[in-house]
Amino acid sequence: AAGVIQSPRHLIKEKRETATLKCYPIPRHDTVYWYQQGPGQDPQFLISFYEKMQSDKGSIPDRFSAQQFSDYHSELNMSSLELGDSALYFCASSPPRGQGIETQYFGPGTRLLVL
Amino acid sequence: DAKTTQPPSMDCAEGRAANLPCNHSTISGNEYVYWYRQIHSQGPQYIIHGLKNNETNEMASLIITEDRKSSTLILPHATLRDTAVYYCIVRRNQGGKLIFGQGTELSVKP
């Protein structure tokens, strides 16, 4: 079965640079979530989109922005990168409400290292 | 969403049942208990969820106490590949973010 695709899988950036992470949800899933997991920490919710509209926002820095496109893929844009942004970034998708178990399916993550 | 409390770590012998407890004493009537696990640095994986009845699927069983203030995830025959951090999450079944707490680090040993 198709899974959530994230690209790139690994990314190395310098401080103050920008980065764009991409997420391709499972086909026919209309909701996308972004999570950040720092070293030794639990995943923390950043932001979510439902039908291309932002549906919820967590502890996402103002330097970060995200959007969901007409084909439901999503991009997380990170600017003025800081050392503390080094983390695993997970994307998850969920099916339309009322169509299956209300759960989230996670991608393999993008490992971002800021030097 | 209600908060959960889990032991930070547990060990289990390979082939034996792993019983992972979770306390959620402030759970409200419309909140479900979800279990996810994260195998080292991989994306979290859904295991099972339930409201008040016990549930079973191909991965695990979920036992929820009658007062719904605690639950137990049971892996009936743990294997080395079940070594992971297991998260118990309480949330309404209407979508929305997952709030990951501390989780239980399960180590399955030969």
Predicted confidence (pLDDT) at residue B95 exceeds the cutoff of 80: no
pLDDT at B7: 97
pLDDT at B30: 86
Q: How far is B90 from chain A (nearest CA, A)?
A: 12
| pLDDT tens profile B20-79 | 999 999 999 889 999 999 999 899 999 999 999 899 999 999 999 999 999 999 999 999
Please report, for residues A91, B24, B36, B44, B109, the alpha-carbon distance to residue A37 in angstroms, rounded to integers and kept in the order given.
11, 24, 15, 11, 27
pLDDT at B2: 66
pLDDT at B93: 66
Q: Which of A9, A94, A103, A112 to mutate to test the interface with B (most CBs of B within 10 A)?
A: A103
Q: How far is A10 from chain B (nearest CA, A)?
A: 13
Name the residue facing A103 among B46, B99, B101 (closest C-beta): B46
Kind plus residue range of the DSSP H or E element containing A12: strand A10-13
CA–CA distance, B64 with B66 (Å, rounded to integer): 7
B-chain residues near A88 (CB < 8 A): 41
pLDDT at A39: 94
SS3 track for A19-88 = EEEEEECCCCCCEEEEEEECCCCCCEEEEEEECCEEEEECCCCCCEEEEECCCCCEEEEECCCCHHHCEE
pLDDT at B91: 86
Worst-scoring range by mean pLDDT, A7-11, B26-30, B106-110?
Answer: B26-30
CB contacts < 8 A, A to B, total: 56
pLDDT at A2: 84
CA–CA distance, A69 with A71 (Å, rounded to integer): 5
Residue of chain A nearest B96, judged by CA positions: A56
CA–CA distance, B71 with A104 (Å, rounded to integer): 21
Single-letter residue type at B47:
I
Of the candidates B28, B100, B35, B46, which has an alpha carbon nearest to the alpha carbon of residue A58? Answer: B100
| CA triple A39-B23-B5, angle to 5 deg | 25
Q: How confident is the model at residue A101 (pLDDT cuts 50, 70, 90)?
A: low
Q: How confident is the model at residue A103 (pLDDT cuts 50, 70, 90)?
A: confident
Q: How confident is the model at residue A97 (pLDDT cuts 50, 70, 90)?
A: confident
CA–CA distance, B6 with B43 (Å, rounded to integer): 20
Q: Is B61 helix (H, G, I), strand (E, B) or coil?
A: strand
Does residue A37 contact residue A88 with C-beta atoms inside 8 Å? yes
- What are φ and ψ of residue B59, in 5° steps? -95, -40
Cβ within 8 Å, pair A50-B101:
no
Single-letter residue type at A6:
Q
| pLDDT tens profile A44-85 | 999 999 999 999 999 899 999 999 999 999 999 999 999 999
Exposure string over A79-93, b if 16+ CB within 10 A, otherwise e: eebeeebbbbbbbbb
Name the residue facing B97 among A48, A106, A108 (closest C-beta): A48
Higher pLDDT, A90 or A95: A90
